[in-house]
Amino acid sequence: MSKPVLSILLCLLFCSGLHSQNLSDLIISEAMPGCPGSITDDYGNNSDWIEIFNTSQGTVNFAGCFLTDDLSNLRKSQITKDDRSTKIGPRQVVLLYAAGNSALGTYYLNFTLPVGGTVYLVSNDGRTIIDSLKIPATLPEGMSISKFAHDNKELLFDDIHPSSPSPRSLNGRHEQKTKSQIMKETDPHGWILTLIAVSVVFSALLILFLIYNLSGNIFTGKYKRRPGHHKADDETAAAIAMALELASGDDAVPAAIAMALHLYSDDGAHDIEPGFITIQDKPSAWRNKNLMFRKTTRKI
């Protein structure tokens, strides 16, 4: 394998390793300092919590990833690699408790939320910061800081502001109408969809028809170009005929020669005509040079 190809393959492997299992699709979607009345962890405490959201359409395993509130210590709290429940489904969330003690369980961190600071999600390589979320010092009690996606299809979390806490659910517009419901409102009788769909089906097959018609014409030789030198050959034939006529003074001989030359140049004398047996020069295994000769050894 050539060096450039090997280099490209190695680069691809290296790049894919950087964001193994699409860890880059994870974001910190919401965080909230604990307060009386907020959600409780498995031990009944009102712990701080952080919500991680998988924006991709595939499952992402975030085992081995780190969370930290300190840029100088990116490996502060690691998600255990031994727990099989660390897979986040497509467009699903997982809740982590910033209880200050990671020994409490898989979903517990060894720090609490730094009000006025920033929480970082770090890849399992311990170096690459995947996402971060700043906790405002002015965050009202009982409110969380959330990232919102205005378009739940594109999921661009470009709006960050305090909101009512919504742990374990997608932030933003929660009730989205299905396509079927939208269609029922916009096209209750189905005529619009029918017209569009029929047009698309016809267009698709029409395009295929045009392409195959074109390719068929090419393959059957309909668009075969005449060689460019024919015009010159015709002119040459006419010139020879004129010269012969001048030399001999007879019309019949030069006309016959000109016709023969014209047919030869136009290949008209060599057509395959129906009803006539045409012997064609077809290659066969008997004449195949590759089979008749021994392969030469390759020089090294």
- Tell me how far apart the alpha carbons of residues 69 and 77 are, in angstroms, rounded to a whole number: 9
The smaller minimum CB distance to another protein, of residues 43 and 209, is found at 209
Give 18's contacts (C-beta < 8 A, 6+ positions apart): 123, 125, 128
Rounded CA-CA distance 199/131 in Å is: 45
Evaluate whether 81 touches 61 at the Cβ level (below 8 Å). no
Spatial separation of the C-alpha atoms in residues 220 and 298, rounded to whole Å: 40
Least distance from C-beta 285 to another protein, angstroms? 17
Residue whose pair of structure tokens reads 């470009």 in the numeric block: 158
Least Å distance, CB 192 to another protein, is: 10
Helical (H) or strand (E) element with 185: helix 179-186
Least distance in Å: CB of 31 to another protein? Answer: 34
* C-beta of 6 vs 192, nearer to another protein: 192
Q: How far apart are CA 252 and CA 236, in angstroms?
A: 18
DSSP state of 197: H
Sheet holding 48-54, edge to edge: 93-98, 48-54, 26-32, 144-149, 157-163
Sign of the CA dihedral with 30 first, then 34, 37, and 41 last? positive
Which two three-digit tokens encode residue 146?
Answer: 């959330």
Select 39 or 183, whichever has its Cβ closest to another protein.
183
Minimum CB separation of residue 202 from another protein in Å reads 5
- Closest distance of CB 83 from another protein, Å: 23
* Minimum distance, C-beta of residue 90 to another protein, in the bound complex (Å): 14
**Which structure tokens are listed for 229?**
């030198």
CB 216 to another protein: min, Å? 7
Measured from the CB atom, the residue of 2 and 284 that comes closer to another protein is 284
Sign, CA dihedral 155-161-163-166, equals positive
- Rule CB under 8 A: which residues touch another protein? 178-180, 183-184, 187-191, 193-194, 196-198, 200-209, 211-213, 215-216, 219-220
- The nearer residue to another protein, 71 or 201, going by C-beta atoms, is 201
Structure-block tokens of residue 42: 């498995």
CB of 182 to another protein, least distance (A): 9
Q: Which two tokens stand for residue 209?
A: 């028809």
Half-sphere exposure of residue 160: CA atoms within 13 angstroms, side-chain side: 13
Q: Cβ closer to another protein: 178 or 297?
A: 178
C-beta separation of 167 from 174 below 8 A? no
Q: In the complex with another protein, which residue's Cβ is closer, 11 or 201?
A: 201
Closer of 6 and 207 to another protein (Cβ): 207
